[in-house]
Amino acid sequence: MTDVRPLRILHVSDTHLLGDGGRHYGVVDTTAALRSVLERASTVSDVDVVVLSGDLSDDGSPASYQALVELVEPWAAERGAVVVPAMGNHDLAAGFEEVLGERERTVLVRGFRVVTVDTSVPGAGYGRLDPAQLDRLRGALAGLEDPDRATRPEEAADAPLRPTVVVLHHPPVPARSALLAALELQDPGALLELCEDAGAVGAVLAGHYHHALVATAGRIPVVVAPGVANSSDPLAPCGHERAEVGSGFAVVDVHDDGAVSAVFVPVPHASDVADGTELFDLAPDEVERIAALAGPGASS
C-alpha cells in the first residue's frame, strides 16, 4: 500500500531551559512552559518528527539538556516519533553533544530526509555557515549521510526518496526588528542557492525570532516556530526590542509534491505569570549596544 501521508512535524523552538531550574529573565519557568507545550500538542495525531530548532538551553549546561530529554523523549516515544535537535546561539557545543549527540546529523523518516545544520557562532548571537559546513550540507542533500534505509521495512533501499527538510536556528529570511536583524544568518544566499540547486529541499525550519513566521526564500518555504520561553513583539516601536510572556509551537506538514502547510498554536502560560506580561522593552541605544557585542562586528 502506497504511503501518501505527509511528513508531520511538531516544530518546537527556543525552549531556553536552565540546568538549575531557574527562571528565564527571572520570570518564566521554561521547564513548565515546555511541559505545557507538549501537553497542548498531545492531541496532534500522526506526528513523525519532533524538531527542536535551537536555543534549547539558556545556560548550555548538561543538566538543561537532560531536562529537555526527560520531557521530549517520552512524548515522542509514545507516538513513535523521532526527535531531531539543532544548535542555537545560546546552546553550548559541549553540553549539547554530551546529552543530545552530534550537532549536525541526517535522519530518514518514512523516506523523508531531515538534515540539521549548526548556524551558531561561539560567543555570538548571529548565525553563520562556513564553507566546510556548506560542503557537508551539499553532501547530505545528495544522500551521502543517509543511514541504511533497509533498517526499517518502511525505509527499504528501493523506496523513492521524498522531500528533504533542513533544520537550523537562524532563519535565512529577514528579521522584523533591529536587534534580530543584527543577529541574522550571514550570507543566507549561499545556503538558499545550495538548497535550490539540490532540488529536493521541501522546507527550511528555523527558530531564533521567537515569533511565528512563514516566508518563501527563492522557491523554498521557510517556517519559523514561535518561542517556548517567550514571545517577541514584531510590532514593537521602531528600534526597540520587546518580548512578553507567551509560548507556542507549529505543526508542519510536508507533502510528496512539495506542498507545505504550517499551523501555529499558542499555549497558555503554566505558572503564576500572566500571558502578555512584558519581559523587557529595550530602547534603541540598548539594542545598539547588544548588537555591537553579539553581532558579526564583534567576532569573525
Each residue's pLDDT tens digit, 61-82: 999 999 999 999 999 999 999 9
pLDDT band at 300 (very low <50, low <70, confident <90, very high): very low
Assigned C-alpha cell, 127: 548565525
**pLDDT the model gives residue 263:** 99
What confidence score (pLDDT) does residue 299 get?
54
Handedness of CA 62, 72, 280, 87 (dihedral sign): positive
Amino acid at 261: S
Query: Rounded mean pLDDT of 5-23?
Result: 97
Report the distance separating Cα 189 and Cα 10, nearest Å: 27
Q: What is the pLDDT of residue 148?
A: 62
85 close to 121: Cβ distance less than 8 angstroms? no
**Rounded to whole angstroms, how far apart are CA atoms 242 and 189?**
28
Nearest to 193 by CA among 272, 138, 247, 118: 138
pTM of the model: 0.94
Of 47, 48, 21, 49, which is closest to residue 34 (Cα–Cα)?
21
When the pLDDT of each residue in the chain is averaged and rounded to a whole number, the result is: 94
pLDDT digits (tens, 9 = 90+) for 107-121: 999 999 999 999 999
At 155, the pLDDT band (50, 70, 90 cuts) reads: very low
What are the chain's domains? 7-294 (3.60.21.10)
